[in-house]
Amino acid sequence: MRDLIKATLFLDPKLHEDFKIRIHYDGFKNQSEFMRACIVSYLSADKKFMEFLDHYKKNEKLQSQAQIAQSIKLRKSGEKLMEKMGITEEEIENILELLEGEIPES
């Protein structure tokens, strides 16, 4: 059985209600499922999620344009290296599953 960690998120009551409504509208079972999807996307550097994050950081002025550009450059460099080495997303998933002790389905 997995160990579970409880995380707390503080939101304004109106924002929380809007969040719950939107979660339901988009078909998530609960807020935890949504947050897990975001965390997994972030940690796996999902391309679309990272594009959103770059956009958010720019609009909220969390980082300078130069820092955001450097992050994008580094991610693209990493993608090119993986491509050059012939490592696919599927192979990465298989490796991660093996590391987690799961046997990937073929």
Ranges of residues in the chain whose predicted pLDDT is under 70:
1-2, 102-106
State pLDDT tens for residues 33-63. Answer: 999 999 999 998 899 999 999 999 999 999 9
- Residue where the block lists tokens 């950081």: 57
Looking at residue 102, its pLDDT comes to 60
Sort 58 into a burial class: Cβ within 10 Å, 0-12 / 13-18 / 19+. middle
Prediction pTM value: 0.68
Helices within the chain (DSSP H only):
13-25, 31-43, 47-59, 65-85, 89-99
Looking at residue 42, its pLDDT comes to 93
